[in-house]
Amino acid sequence: MTGITLIAATASSSLQSESRRICQTRSMTFDSLISLWPAAGVRARARNLELRWVDDELAVELASLAARGIHDPERMPFNFPWTRGSAREVARNVLTYQWRTRQDVGPARLTLEYAVLVDGTVVGVQGASGASWPILRSVETGSWLGREFHGRGIGTRMRAVLLHLLFDGLDAAEVTSTAFEDNRASNAVSLKTGYLLDGTARVVREGVATPQNRYRMTRERWEEVRYVNARLAGGAVALDGVTELRDHLDAPAH
């Protein structure tokens, strides 16, 4: 066999292999949202509290909950004042935010938004977001709770469950959180679950310079407080669907 013939034969074999791969890929069937979007299949549960992917039905429930009120109107716990406006405007803000962030579940930009349910009732949202996940493995948590559910310890429980999801399920390296100094409840949740104060900065809140605390939890710190968080969550945390999401986030870029 001449060199030219050998090269041609090798090229033909490579083309056949690639053709088979393309045919196999095209023949794949996707029978559910989860098979295409693993984040939708993630569940985290501790006793009667559950974190669940926000589908359209849950988004409407969350919008209605937010429209009934989240916080004292005299105080603003969020950097962006999305809770200002009429009940309809606040409800639509919830919908547009949830729809907009659904696409940001990947290695470059990771945004996880999960509805919080207690005994099957929607009570709020617990989320986390960050950039360059495969490299930094770092996210910042954020949440809100319907005002009618304040004062029941739910905020602490849902943060504790999310930390289990991030560290034990997705192998996070660090998790951060921020809270305005006058938001006592949010500061207390971060401290209860084991974050360490990582500094205070002045940020603009509705046109006024306002002190905001930053909290940080490393993996080493998580190992120290994981059992405390299991107790705060209300029991052992069960995770579903995290293997598929972790594989999706850690897959090499093509």
Q: What is the pLDDT of residue 29?
A: 73
Q: Tell me, yes or no, whether 15 lies in a domain.
A: no
What is the number of other CB atoms lying within 10 angstroms of the CB of residue 77?
A: 18
Q: What is the pLDDT of residue 201?
A: 97
List, in sequence order, every beta strand (DSSP E) within 133-207: 138-145, 174-180, 196-205
Q: Tell me, yes or no, whether 17 lies in a domain.
A: no
Q: What is the pLDDT of residue 32?
A: 84
> pLDDT by residue (tens digit) across 200-220?
999 999 999 999 999 999 999
Q: What is the pLDDT of residue 44?
A: 98
- Cα 166–Cα 111–Cα 145 angle in degrees, nearest 5: 80
Q: Tell me, yes or no, whether 89 lies in a domain.
A: yes
Q: By residue range, what is the domain housing residue 212? A: 35-250
Q: What is the pLDDT of residue 33?
A: 86
Specify the number of domains making up the chain: 1
Q: What is the pLDDT of residue 240?
A: 96
What number of H helices and E strands is found in the chain? 9, 9
Give the separation between CA 161 and CA 72, rounded to whole angstroms: 26
Residue segments in the chain with a per-residue pLDDT below the cut of 70: 1-28, 253-254
Q: Domain containing 96 — which CATH number? A: 3.40.630.30
Q: Tell me, yes or no, whether 26 lies in a domain.
A: no
Q: Tell me, yes or no, whether 6 lies in a domain.
A: no
What is the number of other CB atoms lying within 10 angstroms of the CB of residue 24?
A: 9
Sign of CA dihedral 102, 106, 108, 112: positive
